[in-house]
Amino acid sequence: MRDRLDLNAIDLNLLPKFRALYRQRNVSEAGRELHLTQSALSNALARMRSIFGDELFVRTAAAMEPTPFAHAIAGPIERALVSLEGEFARVKAFEPEHSSRTFKIAMSQLGEIWLAPQILAYARDVAPDIVVNAVGAGDRGFEGALASGSIDFAVGHLPDLEFKFCHAVLGMHELVCVVREKHPIFAEPLTMSALLSCTFAEVVEHGSMYGALSRAVMGMARPDAMRYRTSNVVALPAIIASTDLVAILPAWFAARHAPALNLCLLRLAGRPPVATVRLFWHQDVEADPGHLWMRSIIAKAAAAAQIEETIKTAPTVTIEEAPRLETVS
């Protein structure tokens, strides 16, 4: 690594390529992000190595690992690029009807089912050429993805992010226990004790809203109550319909499947437990016109989904003496 760096030797076109390589840790993936061939990005990496006098990224069995020097310059490069992008965006106002911008939204499977149809419907009318990429949390999680700028938004029940990123409430979702209509629990009076003697299925997914309530109920249930875990929440209604397992799910999602699969929603007494779903974004893009526009579209999508209406027609039974689990923080 050189002691002094001649800034005149740096081609600013290389900085976005460095950022993509640092985010993706893979030449092919970074090339796809930038719409460049692997050969073009490899040539750019060779130029960067020559300019900086450092290997920058070392190939390992798992990925292209950044060197200590690459880690040291990644933050300043990211801040410089974000600042430039923000200033350019403010100079040139976002025009959704003429934009082909890509927005990356990280969300759970249920978040995508809930929001994506409405987001696309609103965007189609006013911005027909924009692209929406729905992505998962990835290896670095929602926090790491937001901090690095590899995603524009995160959607979910993510209380750990509330003090680190800008956010807005999208909705309050009721949570219920879900069983098949001919579940053995209905052979006797429906009590909390009967529920806690059942066996359970659980969804394990980052950003999901049902994990906290599931843990609370499981803490009161029998020690061997957990019998099935999955990251595929979409498959769970069919599994519940064909077993004696109990699952904890958002009421709107369970209600959509209840008529076809003969499911029953078990509400806990008192005010039903609810989870707050929020939209998160980084403060560096707070004033970005494109972000402001997409935030408004996502807020409209959440309001228009009308998920509460689906609950009213689903078979529902209340467990009267259930403990008060009113919120999921």
Q: What one-character-per-residue DSSP string does 153-218 give? A: EEEE--GGGTTTSEEEEEEEEEEEEEEETT-GGGGS---HHHHHTSEEEEE--TT-SSHHHHHHHH
Q: Could you tell me if 64 and 27 are in contact, meaning their C-beta atoms sit under 8 angstroms apart?
A: yes
Cα 73 to Cα 15, 69, 257: the distances in Å are 10, 6, 50
Q: Report how far residue 127's alpha carbon sits from residue 97's, in angstroms, rounded to the nearest whole number.
A: 4
pLDDT tens track for 250-277: 888 999 899 999 999 988 776 677 888 8
At 121, the amino acid letter reads A
Q: Report how far residue 313's alpha carbon sits from residue 82's, in angstroms, rounded to the nearest whole number.
A: 48
Q: Could you tell me if 66 and 56 are in contact, meaning their C-beta atoms sit under 8 angstroms apart?
A: yes
User: Residue 166's pLDDT is what?
Assistant: 92
Q: Could you tell me if 218 and 243 are in contact, meaning their C-beta atoms sit under 8 angstroms apart?
A: no
Q: Report how far residue 234's alpha carbon sits from residue 254's, in angstroms, rounded to the nearest whole number.
A: 10
H or E element at residue 80? helix 68-91
User: Residue 120's pLDDT is what?
Assistant: 93
The predicted model gives 36-40 an average pLDDT of 86
User: Residue 306's pLDDT is what?
Assistant: 61
Q: Report how far residue 282's alpha carbon sits from residue 82's, in angstroms, rounded to the nearest whole number.
A: 11
Domains of the chain: 7-91 (1.10.10.10), 97-170+276-306 (3.40.190.10), 172-274+310-328 (3.40.190.10)
pLDDT tens track for 91-128: 567 888 988 899 999 988 888 998 999 999 988 888 99
Three-state SS at 58 = strand
How many Å is the Cα radius of gyration of the chain?
Answer: 24
E strands present in the chain: 57-59, 64-66, 102-107, 131-135, 153-156, 166-180, 199-203, 226-230, 245-250, 263-268, 274-281, 316-319, 327-328
Which of the four pLDDT bands, split at 50, 70 and 90, describes residue 329?
very low
Which of the four pLDDT bands, split at 50, 70 and 90, describes residue 5?
low
Whole-number average pLDDT of the chain: 83
Note every long-range contact of 138-143, with CB atoms under 8 Å and residues 24 or more positions apart, other chains counting: 138/106, 141/206, 142/106, 142/206, 142/207, 142/280
pLDDT of residue 237 exceeding 90: yes
